[in-house]
Amino acid sequence: MKINLKSNYLLLGSRSIDSIDLDVAEITLKDLVQTISDRSTTSDGLEYLNEERTQLRPAFEVHINGCPLGFCEKGVNTILRDGDTVDVYLEPQYGG
C-alpha cells in the first residue's frame, strides 16, 4: 500500500520523498509515524508519540486526507488505507 506524505521538514531524509510504500493492507497513524521514525535518515530518535503512545507530541500537527487529526474519532488509532494522504507538520516553535 502507498501513503502519500506532505511535511514542512525532511520526513524521511529527502524533500523529494512524497510517499511511503508499506507491505500491509492498512495501518494506524500510530504505526505509520513509528515506521517513519524508524526509516528516517535525518531525524535520529525523533519521537512522534507521547510516552503512553496515546497521542502525538504537541510539536506535531497532522492532517489525514485534509482533516485535522483532532477531528478523527480514533485519533492516532485512525486506520489508513492505500492512497490516503498524511500531512505531518513540525510546529515552528519546535525548530521547523
Conformation bin of residue 87: beta by default, left when phi > 0, alpha when psi is -120 to 50:
beta
pLDDT in the model for residue 17 = 82
Domain 2-94 has CATH 3.10.20.30: yes
Task: Assign 31 to helix, strand or coil.
Answer: helix
Enumerate residues 6+ apart whose C-beta is below 8 A from 72: 29, 64, 78
Structure pTM?
0.85
Distance CA 36, CA 22 (A): 11
Distance CA 30, CA 49 (A): 8
Q: What is the pLDDT of residues 44-89, one digit of tens each?
A: 567 888 899 899 988 899 999 999 999 999 999 999 999 999 999 8
